[in-house]
Amino acid sequence: MTCECYRDRAQSAYDVLKILNASSSTQRFIAKVRRKQRRKIALQDLCQRESSPVTSTLESSPLVSGSPARQNSPLWMLTPESGAVAIAASVLVVAGGSLVLSRPETLPLFDPAPKTLQRAAQQYQQGNVEKAIATANSISPDSPSFLLAQQSIQQWQYEWEQSVQRFRELEAAYDAQDWLGVLRKGRDMPATEFWNAQKAPFMQRAQQQVDLQGHAFLQDAFNLAYQHRFVEALDALRRIPPEAAAYAHVSEKFIEYEEKRDIRAQYYLQQAYNDAQRGNFAQAIAYLQRITSETPTYAIAQRKQLEYRQKQELRADSKF
């Protein structure tokens, strides 16, 4: 008999917990109960049994059965919903194999700390850092959210000090017309509502200037490439920062101009060969000097320069 009784209790507790987990309106119902003084008094009256184990299954309880006591209970009359919500209002917990009633206001469900911390975080987002800290500090040390609140306060204080310093640096860069510096300082600041609003005018003006500069460098690269001055065109492309809108064209043009630079270097090397065969070593050396170190033909050009200089000197000595 004893085992059967405990089995019934365990099965009933499992059913109740399933009901509690499945009820999406439980929290709203409990909040409603707390707001209504008359209903709260009725609930507390029922909760006086919390120190006594329920010795029978829920089916035999007046709250669950169809008895008159159940129908006349103030708790049962609080809602037109099924008995699951009423059971949720006076939350059942398993303790030592028995079911006991517990006052809702003593459970974590009624802990206001998470909402308080959320409100503090919103205040911090809006730039009210002192108010946010005060709100977070109002969370009781007994709350499970207390440690998180203290950690948040430390983080907010650190971030705020860093943000103030970086904003001063941003203003200094703006005054010096260091547009890239403005963008990079602003990018390093926390993306809170307050700081986003503070830095927005500076960032917009800086972005406009960086885009203009980037476009000018890109146009220079186009012009130099048109003149077959690909080495200088590549240098112009290197001056376009990633923050500029024109940077989207850099990668494509860089590959194109590198290929054309190498082709041009091969052309200079061939012209140097031709001039050297005609004995025009000075012109041959001039072509070789136009081949830069980034090209595959650079090593050959260096050797040929040495060779042609020696031949040039020998020719000069032979005249005497």
Residue 118 has pLDDT above 70, yes or no: yes
Concatenating the DSSP letter of every residue in 206-258 gives HHHHHHHHHHHHHHHHHHHHHTT-HHHHHHHHHTS-TTSGGGGGHHHHHHHHH
What's the total number of domains in the chain?
Answer: 3
Same domain, 309 and 283: yes
Please indicate, yes or no, whether residues 219 and 314 belong to a single structural domain of this protein: yes
- pLDDT (mean) for 87-114: 48
CATH number at residue 270: 1.25.40
pTM of the prediction?
0.56
Long-range own/partner contacts, residues 298-304 (CB < 8 A, 24 or more apart): 298/265, 300/269, 301/265, 301/268, 301/269, 301/272, 304/269, 304/272, 304/273, 304/276
**Coil vs helix vs strand at 54:** strand
Q: Is the pLDDT of residue 53 over 80?
A: no
Of 44, 32, 27, 135, nearest to 79 (Cα)? 32
The reported pLDDT for the residue numbered 65 is: 44
Which of 207, 230, 256 is a domain's end point? 207
Residues 18, 81, single domain; the answer is yes
Q: Do 76 and 48 sit in the same domain of this protein?
A: yes
Residue 256's domain spans which residues? 213-318
Q: With a cut of 60, say whether residue 73 has pLDDT above it.
A: no
Name 274's Cβ contacts closer than 8 Å, sequence gap at least 6.
Answer: 284
pLDDT of 117 over the 70 cut: yes
Residue 101, strand partner residues: 92
Given pLDDT bands bounded at 50, 70 and 90, which one contains residue 111?
confident
* The domain boundary residue, chosen from 207, 230, 247: 207
Q: What is the DSSP string of 65-121?
A: SSSHHHHH-TTGGG-SS-HHHHHHHS-EEEETTEEEE--GGGSGGG--HHHHHHHHH
The answer to whether residues 240 and 189 belong to one domain is no
Same structural domain, 82 and 158? no
- Residue 299: pLDDT band (50, 70, 90) is very high
pLDDT of the residue at 202: 97
pLDDT in tens, 203-229: 999 999 999 999 999 999 999 999 999
Q: Are residues 98 and 191 in the same domain?
A: no
Residues 43 and 142 both lie in one domain? no
What is the C-alpha to C-alpha distance for residues 320 and 315, in angstroms, rounded to an integer? 9
If one counts every other C-beta atom within 10 angstroms of the C-beta of residue 74, the result is: 13
Q: How deeply is 313 buried, as exposed, middle or buried, from its count of CB atoms within 10 A (0-12, 13-18, 19+)?
A: exposed
Q: Mean of the per-residue pLDDT values for the chain?
A: 77
Residue 75: what are its φ and ψ, rounded to 5°? Answer: -65, -40
Q: Does 162 lie in the same domain as 194? A: yes
**Which segment of 16-25, 143-152, 298-307, 310-319 scores lowest on mean pLDDT?**
16-25
Is 230 found in the same domain as 192?
Answer: no
110, 138, 158: which is the final residue of a domain? Answer: 110
